[in-house]
Amino acid sequence: MSEEIRALDEEAILAGLVGLPHWRLELGCLVRDYRSGGWKATLMVAGVIGHLAEAAWHHPVLELSWDRVRVRLSTHSPRGITGRDFALARKIEEVVQWQPARESGVLEGTPNADERFRYIQYD
């Protein structure tokens, strides 16, 4: 690591949250709830977030329930929210909220109208 990681002040955190409308500041962490179609989807979302976190070498707290994944991001060394937290939040948001059906291409996306196949409740 070539530069020191510093905790952001509240003004910078609130400014960063403007670009992440479904994330919030809660007890010193960036927090986001993802709603899923059920336990299998919850585990898949958690696995994706785990992969992204490990690749970034920055690890959130995940809370799982039958139809929800709660993500909590903060940085331990400066004891606060840093640019790393925002970078990982943006990547998680990009990947988890990706909807192939909204793009032109051969990937059709999950059939959300049918509860048997619903994956995630997109924003």
Instruction: Please give the sequence-ordered ranges of beta strands (E in DSSP) within the chain, or none if there are none.
Output: 24-26, 29-35, 61-65, 68-73
Distance between CA atoms of residues 51 and 59, nearest Å: 10
Locus of tokens 């192939």: 100
Class level of CATH domain 24-123: alpha beta
- Tens-digit pLDDT profile for residues 71-80: 999 998 898 9
- What's the predicted TM-score (pTM) here? 0.91
Domain residue extents for the chain:
24-123
- Tens-digit pLDDT profile for residues 89-112: 999 999 999 999 888 899 988 887
